[in-house]
Amino acid sequence: MMVARLLKDIEELVRIAEKLLSLNINKAISGKDENANNWTLMRQQIRNQAMQVLVQSQDPSKDKF
């Protein structure tokens, strides 16, 4: 449950960043498609990194910080 909540929160933050950082993107179709693909890749990378952190936090031998 905690993992799902964290992933949802991260996804919401990425959506906000995408909207703010995409305001001045060229309005051409190819520019929009490329931008969407870049953000999809960014979401996947962030999701993977967050999952790695969560998995490592469950290991009692690892430093929590």
**DSSP 8-state code for residue 58:** T
Residue type, 18: E
How far is Cα 29 from Cα 23, in angstroms, rounded to an integer?
A: 15
CA angle at 59 for the pair 40 and 11, rounded to the nearest 5°: 20
Look at the pTM and tell me if it is higher than 0.85: no
Tens digit of pLDDT for each residue in 5-62? 877 888 888 888 887 777 666 565 666 778 788 888 888 888 888 888 878 878 788 7
Q: Tokens standing for 32?
A: 């929009």
What pLDDT score was predicted for residue 28? 59
